[in-house]
Amino acid sequence: MPRMTARLNVTEMVTLPRAYYEEVARDTLGILWYEKRLIVGILLVALSVALIALVLIGPRYSAEAMIQLNFNREEPTTGPKTQSIATVEAVALVGSAAHAIRSRATANAVVARLGLDKDPDFARESTLWRVLSGVRRTLGLAGVTLTPRDLAANQLMRKVTVANDPRSYLISITATTGDPGQAVTLANAVALEYLRGQMLQQFSDSQAAAERELFQLSSIYGVRHPSYALARTRLDALENRLIALRDAAPDDDTVRLVIGQSFVAAKKTLLPSGPPIISILVLTAGAALCLGMCLALWLMPRR
């Protein structure tokens, strides 16, 4: 009999919690069904707000320009000899190139080149920054006044993302805006501005080498020797190209002269890259349902 009683107690202990939880689940479902209008109302309001926000934001378009770095050097010695840079050094060079592309110096150069500081879509303060500046002025604190060029550079850096793949030595510059043509312009402008800087550096190095060669020829042969005159002509041509490169806007044909780097221009596409409408609506619906159910369970005991 004691063993039989113990078995009955264990069975009751297992059965009672199960019945209790089943009853709680039924009551909860009953409450949710009773408050279905509240839950559906919250769901519809949330979806309406999300749809209005999506309409106001509008479609976003992305354009991608690419720069391929080549680390094979050809040495014009007795025969064609190819020398490959070590992998670790190549990865570091790709990372430094990507850092230079996404730097503020490149952004400022693009802003000056395209005149973005005169574009109201770029040269304007964000709403959050205006609110913070107003609060600081109200409290009597010194505020920071940004120039139109600073505002345009900040806006450009938010619209452009730079990613690099260390395995393929590829750098991608992606611009995302509401206008597909503008996205192409920004992506190509950032890439071309970086390549223009690389060309300036290479021409400056060539100019320095030509000046050293000219000095050596003048000290050995004098300024009337034909070798000196030929070196002087090469130096003048380099100086003229440097002046033209500093003043003129870079183009596809010019940047092809950059040694060790190839450029793939961005192309215009009319297929929107965002926002992800389905994902936003699904997340909004899920959050609204959770909020509606929690609110229904919280309000029911008070009614």
Q: Which domain holds residue 125?
A: 59-264
SS3 of 155-210: the string is HHHHHEEEEEECCCCEEEEEEEECCHHHHHHHHHHHHHHHHHHHHHHHHHHHHHHH
pTM score: 0.68
Whether 286 is covered by a domain: the verdict is no
Whether 229 is covered by a domain: the verdict is yes
Name the residue among 164, 179, 174, 170 with its Cα closest to residue 58.
179
- The residues pairing with 68 across neighbouring beta strands, listed in sequence order, are 170, 262
Q: pLDDT of the chain along its 303 residues, tens only?
A: 444 444 444 444 445 577 777 777 777 777 778 888 888 889 999 999 988 988 888 888 999 999 888 765 444 444 444 444 445 577 788 888 888 898 998 999 899 888 888 888 887 766 666 666 666 666 666 556 778 888 888 889 999 999 987 777 888 999 999 889 999 999 999 988 888 888 888 778 787 888 888 788 788 877 777 787 788 888 787 777 777 666 666 655 556 666 677 888 888 888 888 788 888 889 999 999 898 888 888 877 655
For every residue of 245-270, DSSP letters joined together read: HHHSPP-HHHHTTSTTEEEE------
Whether 25 is covered by a domain: the verdict is no
Whether 24 is covered by a domain: the verdict is no
288: tokens are 């609204």
Residue 175 has φ and ψ, to the nearest 5°, of: -110, 135
Whether 269 is covered by a domain: the verdict is no
Domains: count for the chain? 1
- The residues pairing with 60 across neighbouring beta strands, listed in sequence order, are 274
Quick one: CA dihedral 67, 72, 74, 80, positive or negative? negative
Exposure class string for 19-40: b at 16+ Cβ within 10 A, else e: eeeeeeeeeeeebbeebeeebe
Nearest-angstrom CA–CA distance, 131 and 151:
16
Whether 273 is covered by a domain: the verdict is no
Helix (H) or strand (E) holding 263: strand 261-264
Whether 40 is covered by a domain: the verdict is no
Whether 27 is covered by a domain: the verdict is no
